Chain A
Amino acid sequence: MSNIEFSIDDKKLEALPGETVLKAALRNGIDIPYLCYHPCLSIAGNCRICLVRIKGRPGFHPSCNLPVAPGMEIESDCEDVSAVRKNVMQFITLNHPVDCPVCDKAGECKLQNYHFKYNGSASLSIDAKKHKPKFYDVNERILLDAERCILCSRCVRFTHEISKSGMLGITERGQQSRVEHLESGAAKDDYSDNIIQNCPVGALLSRDFLYKSRVWYLEPVASVCNGCARGCSVDVWRRKHHWKVRALGSEKNRMAYRITAKQNDDINGRWICNKGFDLNKQINDFASRATKPAIGGMDATCQDALSEARKLIFEAKKPAAIVSAHASNEELEAFKKTLGSRVEVYVRKDYEPAAGEVVEDELLIKADKNPNSTKVEELFGKESFSAAAGHDLVLVWGDNVEYSALSGAKIIHLATQKPNGNPDVLIPISTQFERKGSYTNFEGKVNRFEQVFDKPELVLHASDVFGRL
C-alpha cells in the first residue's frame, strides 16, 4: 500500500498506511505533546493533551487514536488547540502537588516540561488539593506517590500487556481513582522496574535511586547488560564530569547511579528485566573488586605479575587456558591471535542461574546467564576443562572459579573479582564497564558497549595482557 498524504499545520507529510496522526507527526519531527501514549502499549487516549483539530470537522480529536486519512488537514499549533492544552494542564495539575524541587523525576518529567510550555500559569483553583497516598508500596523495588500520578495507565497497561503479571490496576473511579496492586495480579513481576522508566511523571519511584541524585548531575552511557545471553542494551548513568565531587564522597564519581533500558529494536525493544536494572549493584560492588596484582597471595607490581606469569607459561609442559563467556568479542579475538595456538583452550560459563532466579521466559530472559557464549563457542568450541586432561598450568580467565576443580595445576588468574583462594599469579583485569567492546548475543547479534569509568590504576585490560605473556 502506498503512503498517505496529509498535512499538519500546513506542512505536507506522508503517513504509513494505518498510522495515527501522533505517530506520523513524531516520525516527521513534529512535536505533539503526549503523556499516556506509548508506542509499545495499547492506546488509552486518556490524558487528552494530544488533542488536535481536523480542518472542516467540529471539535477536537486525540491524535494518538486518530488514523490518518488521505488529504486530512490537521491543526496542532493554533490558538484553539493551545487553549485546550492549557485547560488540560489545569486539570492535570489540579491535584498534582507540583513538587518538582523534591521530585526524583524533576529534569526529565514530561508534565513539568508541558506545564512550562503549554500552561505557564498558576492554578485557577483556590480550594485545597486532594491528597492521595504518598508512598504506596507497589512492590519491594517500587514506591508509588499517588499524588503525582496522572492516571495515564502506562504502568497498568505494561503489567497487563508486556510483562503479563496483571499486577497493577486502577481502583475506584472519578477523582478517587488510583493505581493499586491488584489482588488478582501476580505478586511478583520480573520486569516491574520498566514502569518507573515509563512513568511520564514522578509517581513511580525506584527505592534504589530515590533521593540518590538529581538527574541533571548525571549522564547516560550506552552499555550492554551482561546478565544473560540476550545482551540487552542499557544506559548506565554516571556523574557528569563537571559535576564530579572533589571533596568528601569522591567514590560517588565512580558510582553507577541507575540503569535504564536503552531502546534497541533488534534485541530488547524498550524493556529490560529487573536483573538488568540491578546492574548498578554489580558495578558499585567495590568490595569484591580485584584491584591489585598478586604472586602467591602477596601483592606485587603489574610488571612482576606479568613476568611471573610469562615464566610459568614458558616452563609448563602442558598449559591450558579457560576462557570466559563474559569476555568481549575483541578480547577473545586478541586472545586467539596471541595465545590461542600456544595453549589448549577450554570454554567456561562464569554464571549459572542463581537460586530463585527466573531461568528463562518468553519475553527477554535467557537461561544462559552469560553475555557472550555465542562468540566463545564460535572461536573455541564447547569443550569444558577436565582435570583428567593432566594440565600442569591453567590460565583462568574469568570469575567465580573454584580452584579445587583444576587438579593442582599451577594457576594464572585474570579476574575482575577477588578470587576464592590464592592463585600462583593474580592479574586484575578491567570490567566491561571500564573498556569499550561488544558482545554477540544468542541470536548472533552484535551489541556494543562504551566505557563508563576509567579502570583502577593497577588493573590491566585483558587484551593488553595476552601479548605480554
Chain B
Amino acid sequence: MNGHRVFFTFDITEDCHTLDAYKKRGGYEALAKVLKDGLQPADVQAEVAASGLRGRGGAGFPTATKWSFLAKNSPVYYLVCNADEGEPGTFKDRWIFEHTPHNLIEGMVLASYAINSRHSFIYIRGEFDLSYKRLMTALKEAYAAGLVGKNIMGSDFSCDIIVQQGGGAYVCGEESSLLSSIEGKKGYPKNKPPFPAVKGLFQAPTCVNNVETLSVLPWILRNGGAKYAEYGTEKNKGTRLFGISGHVKRPGMYEREVGYPYKKMIYEDCGGILGDKALKAVIPGGNSTPILKPEQIENLTMDIEAVAAQGSMLGSGGVIVIAEGTCIPTLLQVMTRFYAHESCGQCTPCREGTTWMNQIVTRIAKGQGKAGDIENLERIAKGIMGNTVCALGAAAAMPVQSYLKQFRHEFEYFIEHGRSMCDGRLEI
C-alpha cells in the first residue's frame, strides 16, 4: 500500500514545472478526455465522487459533495483555489507550485468545467515568490496553448483563471475572508449563513478548494475515480502530501497513501529524531492541531478518523516533530505570538483572547508567571473556542488547551521556579 504516488511520479529537474515537461508525463490528457470525449460536468462530478476524494485544506470534506452544495440555477458560479498556505508547518501547496504548477491549472479547468465556472480564481499567498513566478509562467504557457481561456482545446468551454496575490494575512486562508480579500475588502471573515456555496464571491455561488485537492483531479480523471479509491483507507482515499518539519533528520515533503503510520514516517522515512534523541511530541497536522504524546502515535496512522480518535486533527498534513529537551512553554509562546499577530481583529473573543493568551504565556516564558495563570489560560481558551466568526480563534485556542493538558507540569514548574525545565530550548 505504500508505493502508490499521484504527485511524486517524476524527477525534480530544472524544468519539471514547464508545460513541455508536464505534457511528457501525461499532463492535460485528462482535460482532453473530458472536453474532446464529450464528458458532461455531471460525469466529472461523478468520477470525483467515485474517487472518494476529501478536501486537503484541513477540514477533509468530500470534494464532490462540496460541489453538489452549490446553489442551483445561478447565472454565475465561481471556483476559487485557496493557495493562501499560511499554517506554520504546512508547505505542500508551495511544492506543487514550484514543481508542477500545470497540475493545478489543469485541475482548475476540470473543476471549473464540473461546476460551470467561467471565471476562476487562484488566491496565492503574498509571500510566495518563486511559487507565484512559476504559476504565472505556467498560466501564460497554458493560455498560449489554448488550455485556458476561450474555447479550451477547441471545445465550447471557456474559462479564465485570474491570479490574486494575498497581502500576507494568515486569516485570508479562511475561505470567507479570502473571498472578502478578492472582492477588494479587508480580509475579514464573513458570517455564515449564507455559506459560499449559496452566496460567495461577489454574491454568486462559489466553491473554494485547496491546491492539493484541485491538483489531484487530473490524475483522477485520467485514471478513473475507482482507481484512486483503491488507495488509502476505507474512509480516506488516495494519497496525501505530508510536510515533515521539526527535529527529524530528513525533513521535507513526502507523498504517502492515507493511513500511513506516523512512526514509520518519522523513524524510517525521515531518518529518526535529530541527535537520536527521544521523541517528545508530535503536532500532527499544522501547528493549530492539538499536540500528541509519543504513546499516542505508537500505532497511529495518518488518516482523519484515526487522528481524531486521539483528540487531534490530520489538518493540512503538516507534521511537526518535537524532540526530548524542547521547552513546551517556550514553544507555546511562539505559537500564541503567531496567532495574536494574525488575528484579524474583527470579533471580540479572538481579537482580545489571542493577545491575552500570548501575554500570559510570554510572562510565564520570561519566568514571571503567577499562580492562576494556567487556570486563566484555560478559561480564555474555552472562551474563544467555537465562539468566533471564523476558525482562527479555535486554531489559537487548541494549542493552548492541548499543551496545558499534555504538558501541564512544565508550565507549573516554570511558574513555580521562574525557569524552564528544559532551559527554554527550542533547538536540539
Contacts and interface: CB of A to CB of B under 8 A. Distances in A.
Interface in B189-240: 191-193
A126 B351 contact: no
Which of B192, B348, B349, B360 has the largest number of chain A CB atoms within 10 A? B348
B193 A91 contact: no
Interface in A172-195: 172-177
A65 B359 CA distance: 32
Given A59-B386, A62-B191, A46 B353 contact: no
In terms of DSSP, what is the predominant structure of the interface of chain B? helix
Contacts of A92: 348, 352
Which of A67, A88, A170, A175 has the largest number of chain B CB atoms within 10 A? A175
Interface in A78-132: 84, 87-88, 90-92, 94-95, 124-127, 130
A84 B383 CA distance: 6
Interface string A49-92: 10100000011101001010000000000000000100110111
Nearest to B383: A87
B351 A175 contact: yes
Interface string A399-411: 0000000000000
A177 B379 contact: no
Contacts of B171: 173
A125 B376 CA distance: 8
A150 interface: yes
Given A45-B191, A170-B345, A176-B345, A124 B355 contact: no
Interface stretch (B12-20, B145-153, B266-274, B335-343): B335-343
Given A173-B169, A175-B345, A151 B356 contact: no
A13 interface: no
Contact of A174 (B340, B360, B383): B340
Contacts of A41: none
Nearest to B192: A65
A445 B158 CA distance: 56
B296 to A, nearest CB: 24
Contact of A87 (B342, B346, B354, B379): B379
Contact of A91 (B191, B342, B346, B348): B348
Nearest to B346: A46
Interface in B376-422: 376, 379-380, 382-383, 386-389
B363 interface: yes
B25 interface: no
Contacts of A95: 352
Contact of B383 (A90, A169, A172, A176): A90
Contact of A88 (B349, B355, B359, B382): B349
A84 B342 contact: no
Contacts of A94: 352, 356
B363 A48 contact: no
A174 B354 contact: yes
B370 interface: yes
A152 B93 CA distance: 36
Contact of B193 (A58, A65, A176): A65
B32 interface: no
B348 A48 contact: yes
Contacts of B192: 65
Nearest to A150: B348
Contact of B349 (A44, A91, A130): A91
A400 B349 CA distance: 57
A136 B346 CA distance: 20
A43 interface: yes
Place the interface of chain B in its size category: 35 or more
Contact of B376 (A44, A46, A124, A170): A124
A47 interface: yes
A127 to B, nearest CB: 5
Contacts of B356: 91, 94, 125
A453 B316 CA distance: 69
A173 B382 contact: no
B363 A46 contact: no
Contacts of A126: 370, 372
Contacts of A173: 169, 171, 342-345
Nearest to B193: A67
Contacts of A51: 387
A173 B172 CA distance: 12
B186 interface: yes
A34 B180 CA distance: 24
Interface in B165-194: 169, 171, 186, 191-193
26 contacts: A46-B348, A46-B389, A48-B387, A65-B191, A65-B193, A67-B193, A87-B382, A87-B383, A88-B349, A91-B348, A91-B353, A92-B348, A94-B352, A124-B376, A125-B356, A126-B370, A127-B363, A151-B346, A151-B351, A174-B340, A174-B341, A174-B345, A175-B351, A175-B352, A175-B355, A177-B346
Interface of B: 169, 171, 186, 191-193, 340-349, 351-356, 359-360, 363, 370, 372, 376, 379-380, 382-383, 386-389
Given A173-B171, A173-B343, A173-B345, 12 more contacts: A48-B388, A51-B387, A65-B192, A87-B382, A90-B383, A91-B356, A94-B352, A151-B351, A170-B345, A172-B345, A174-B344, A177-B351
